[in-house]
Structure 1
């Protein structure tokens, strides 16, 4: 593992910036929380903390602003978001520095967030006017009933986002909610809140009215329940355990909820895979953001015919990855973000080693680079009794397994309570699609680990089984924030027939009409 020299001091995260970014946080507590830089372990910023009362006040302010915002046509509502797209790209160096400073990720992985924030926003800014406009649907009686569907904003939405992708995830959930005509009260993770606060500041600079996107900061024990209890809809990204609790509480109020949760994602590498392409792609799939990615690959199933060659070359490639703390694009992988993640990775690796697994690369922390670095680790011989086999590690750890036929690989891939993301690697794309359709995951990539499905914004993204509820992206990702309303008007003939028509005649008329509509494919 190489170490490149370079500055470890974040060049843009200073007190003036922190003061500017935190001025919209709803906080009257007088309390603050110190966040630290994962690269160094040193204090990075002091962030204000919110109370339950601050959350209630934020929702009250948000609802006041939302009423005027919902009255703006979707075509006009998208204007700030089109400007936001350009500003994110123009000022990417600011946010790249912030992302690295508060997460410890490599700059190339921070750029994935920048691209996603811009491209995902542009998708909805382009598509929302069409998706939200009133649409006509078949009426009860052709020619006599005219029926339309309107999409109304839900009101004030909670967006609760985690620390691992602190720009992409809050933007990805808040932007479609706002474009749909809602206001948002957002709780980013405190450790990585500066990225979300930067996005809020930038969008208001682009023209979003004040109080439509209000941030609150604090611990779930204090402000978690109020974020659900005051919301008209909840969008959550995080662990399966937390998602289940949030869904239960929201259900008690008959409030909608979407949740992207955990994953123990499989990759299936067929015997005809292009090994050069697959090894490069699998490294990204397993070790992007130091493996702290819900859709990264932790279980790799390799056909027996190529297992030995793939294993040798993949482990060698992992050993050659560059780890450093520089604010440039030289690192292949960065740091873990929290000490608890380092502890979890260490626990999974050490237990597997003690129970007989073979470590092919990595397998140790690297405090010589930074306090939370851990080497990209590849293992074989991982058995079901080992936590690394079944539990989500959420770190730079991947286990390799042999398979001999396609059905066996699919069964192994599906042998989990999770179903978020998967990948299939083969030169035969048609074969890859056939395999993909048999994998129980919300997204399946062919010859790519996660980017192909994630960045196809027109397609829904989310999990099956314990990996989530609902979908982000696509039409579903926007319309989840709306209430559908059907309005129908009746003309010429009513549902009691024409004046003076008896019931038997009317029933016979409708029966004949139903047969004719079927015959001529009107229905």
Structure 2
């Protein structure tokens, strides 16, 4: 276990260009991040390519054992990692936030290590025998976001390493320290050169996505950037797993109990202060219980404390960057001007330090309003009234994204019927955004393609090979 100061010192460059990272809650400096270059990327890729064959030759059991040791290392430094994450990203230590995220890193490493992937016998009829195996790709490039920087990085690297690949990571420019610290801890248990984080700018990301030595890109981020990666990957025919933007819908059926579902609705929408790809971002509620749901959800939301993440009492934090703050503010202001009713929030304190936007609930809003039609990615939830399930399903399916969705009902069988009609990669019943390392996860429509987690996630980090004979 390293102390917080020692961990920060270990990732602070001794020389070269650096960039100061500021706490989004206070505006105070957190630390200095390196500004890596394309030359640094080339060195990392060369080191990864050199380390990968020996790692692949170890076999699944030895690689899994190393990942389990890496999970132990994360847990030994869990509090230090959580504190750095809270200061850099803004999320509080408590609630489903910084400590939760670090714990999830260890959990995903363990599940990736422990998930069996045996050769599959496709045909064995006495004359023909064919087996399906999965071989390492080689070097995998991972490009991560700023909202869950540690956890999503582990989502990318854990299955890649388990399958015998080396990994080069390009973290978000907003949250490089968290990822650099995580990699520093993981590398205590991994061979040298196998895993490297290159904290550069857009030029580094573009070079990684098009590099001929990279066999696969894993990307979590915006749909626009995902499309650019698709284009840049074409010349080298890279494999891709893309988890892109979402604007998840939730449908509350008329038989739901408003008080019973209120807290689940809140966390489905406001986990990580709304900065989650698969968060509930537009809520459709039947007219018969619309007012009751609005009232119960407002009661829950009003009781959730927001503030500096290092304060143990808080469960909601600031938006990570001012650009995202401005997006949320503009969408809420436009909703108010359109005649929508603000149930809670909507008026940030201009003299408050940090990127704090209050928890905001917006009722009586048209489905065409930009707050509904565009992904807000922050603590503002529009609540739309509907009168028939067919109408709700049509509105939920109208957008060109489909990462997740949810149905809320006292009748699970009826909820599953509605869920089957929704165009989304995952549909949850009476919960939202509950990802599980054992259960495949991926998007529909322009929310991306490819699956992560579980057996399917492992397969996505390998090259299928049929041995026939």
**TM-score higher than 0.5 here?**
yes
Match of 1:466 among 415, 438, 446: 446
Residue 319 of structure 1 and its aligned partner are, at CA, apart by 2.5
Q: Is the 8 A contact 2:119 2:131 kept in 1?
A: yes
Residue 208 of structure 1 aligns to a residue whose secondary structure is coil
- Determine if the alignment matches structure 1 residue 21 to structure 2 residue 3: no
Q: Is the 8 A contact 1:35 1:190 kept in 2?
A: no
- Separation in structure 1 between the aligned mates of residue 44 and residue 76 of structure 2, nearest angstrom: 31
Match of 1:478 among 455, 458, 463: 458
Tell me: CA distance 1:382–1:416, structure 2 relative to 1, closer, same or farther (3 Å).
same
- Separation in structure 1 between the aligned mates of residue 352 and residue 3 of structure 2, nearest angstrom: 22
The answer for the alignment partner of 1:134 in structure 2 is 119
Q: 5 Å matches for 1:175-214?
A: 175-205=158-188, 207-214=189-196
- Separation in structure 1 between the aligned mates of residue 397 and residue 205 of structure 2, nearest angstrom: 36
Residue 321 of structure 1 and its aligned partner are, at CA, apart by 2.1
Q: Is the 8 A contact 1:153 1:483 kept in 2?
A: yes
The answer for the alignment partner of 2:255 in structure 1 is 272
- Determine if the alignment matches structure 1 residue 419 to structure 2 residue 381: no
The answer for the alignment partner of 1:506 in structure 2 is none
Match of 1:124 among 112, 126, 142: 112
- Separation in structure 2 between the aligned mates of residue 12 and residue 344 of structure 1, nearest angstrom: 37
- Separation in structure 1 between the aligned mates of residue 220 and residue 261 of structure 2, nearest angstrom: 29
- Higher mean C-alpha deviation, range 218-227 or range 469-478: 218-227
Count of residue pairs the alignment pairs up? 465
CA deviation profile, 1:269-303 (whole Å, cap 9, x unmatched): 11221322311011111111111110111110111
Q: Is the 8 A contact 1:325 1:369 kept in 2?
A: no
Match of 1:221 among 203, 215, 231: 203
Residue 22 of structure 1 and its aligned partner are, at CA, apart by 4.8
The answer for the alignment partner of 1:79 in structure 2 is 65
Q: Unpaired runs of 5+ in structure 2?
A: none
- Separation in structure 2 between the aligned mates of residue 126 and residue 246 of structure 1, nearest angstrom: 31
Tell me: CA distance 1:435–1:12, structure 2 relative to 1, closer, same or farther (3 Å).
farther
Residue 356 of structure 2 aligns to a residue whose secondary structure is coil
Q: Is the 8 A contact 1:51 1:223 kept in 2?
A: no
CA deviation profile, 1:191-222 (whole Å, cap 9, x unmatched): 212222222122222x2111111110111134
- Separation in structure 2 between the aligned mates of residue 474 and residue 180 of structure 1, nearest angstrom: 12
Match of 1:63 among 49, 74, 83: 49
Residue 304 of structure 2 aligns to a residue whose secondary structure is coil
- Separation in structure 2 between the aligned mates of residue 224 and residue 472 of structure 1, nearest angstrom: 23
- Determine if the alignment matches structure 1 residue 113 to structure 2 residue 83: no
Residue 60 of structure 1 and its aligned partner are, at CA, apart by 1.0
Residue 47 of structure 1 and its aligned partner are, at CA, apart by 1.0
- Separation in structure 2 between the aligned mates of residue 156 and residue 447 of structure 1, nearest angstrom: 40
- Separation in structure 1 between the aligned mates of residue 300 and residue 166 of structure 2, nearest angstrom: 46
- Separation in structure 1 between the aligned mates of residue 417 and residue 368 of structure 2, nearest angstrom: 31
CA deviation profile, 1:358-401 (whole Å, cap 9, x unmatched): 11110022355532000011112323553212111111011011
**TM-score (ref. length: structure 2):** 0.95
Q: Is the 8 A contact 1:366 1:372 kept in 2?
A: no
Residue 78 of structure 1 aligns to a residue whose secondary structure is helix
Bigger radius of gyration:
1
- Separation in structure 2 between the aligned mates of residue 293 and residue 459 of structure 1, nearest angstrom: 18
- Separation in structure 1 between the aligned mates of residue 18 and residue 8 of structure 2, nearest angstrom: 12
- Separation in structure 1 between the aligned mates of residue 353 and residue 4 of structure 2, nearest angstrom: 19
- Higher mean C-alpha deviation, range 55-64 or range 213-222: 213-222
- Separation in structure 2 between the aligned mates of residue 44 and residue 329 of structure 1, nearest angstrom: 19
The answer for the alignment partner of 1:3 in structure 2 is none
Residue 422 of structure 1 aligns to a residue whose secondary structure is strand
**TM-score (ref. length: structure 1):** 0.85
- Separation in structure 1 between the aligned mates of residue 77 and residue 204 of structure 2, nearest angstrom: 35
Q: 5 Å matches for 1:397-408?
A: 397-408=380-391
The answer for the alignment partner of 1:92 in structure 2 is 78
Runs of 4+ in 1 over 6 A off after TM superposition: none
RMSD of equivalent CA atoms:
1.9
- Separation in structure 1 between the aligned mates of residue 205 and residue 258 of structure 2, nearest angstrom: 49
- Separation in structure 1 between the aligned mates of residue 209 and residue 17 of structure 2, nearest angstrom: 19
